[in-house]
Amino acid sequence: MDFHLGAATLTPRVRAGWGDGLPLQNQFPLGGNEGFPGHSTEGVRGDRELFGSLQGDLPLGGGPLSLRALLAAGRSAIGTESVLEDPWIGGVRLGVGIDTPLAVVRFEYGFATDESDNLFVRVGKWF
């Protein structure tokens, strides 16, 4: 569900997942299809996941360009680890989106509290 604040759109997300002894291909990627700021998409995986984020999108001047910001926090755990224990990580991803005739193209750069950073480029919407 999106919220509108003037021209800006705010999109909150919450994810939770629970499994036991899942093989790598079935583990939960922290942040889902959008990944976690500062990490490669599906770079942080586990049997369990708790994640929350707030995405902001501000169109510039009524044209195809928009500023984007993502604030996120989450935890992924494997095996006997509890998803409620430390270390939780936080992250910020900042960038621009360009609405082209074919798809939205996003160029964003993210930082995480575990000292990782990553360039995020996406064409279109991934499901």
pLDDT at 82: 80
Provide the residue ranges of all domains of the chain, joining segments of one domain with +: 3-123
- Which pLDDT value is given to residue 86? 75
Element containing residue 12 per DSSP (H, E): strand 8-18
Instruction: pLDDT band for 127, please (50, 70, 90 cuts).
Output: low
Q: Which two tokens stand for residue 106?
A: 């996003």
Structural fold of domain 3-123: Porin (2.40.160)
Asked if 107 and 54 touch (Cβ cutoff 8 Å), the reply is: no
Give the percent of the chain with pLDDT over 70. 98
**Per-residue pLDDT reduced to its tens digit, 17-60:** 999 889 988 999 999 988 999 998 888 999 999 999 999 999 99
Contacts of 88 (CB under 8 A, 6+ apart): 73, 74, 75
Across 109-127, average pLDDT: 90
123-127: which pairs have CB atoms within 8 A and are 24 or more residues apart?
126/33, 127/33
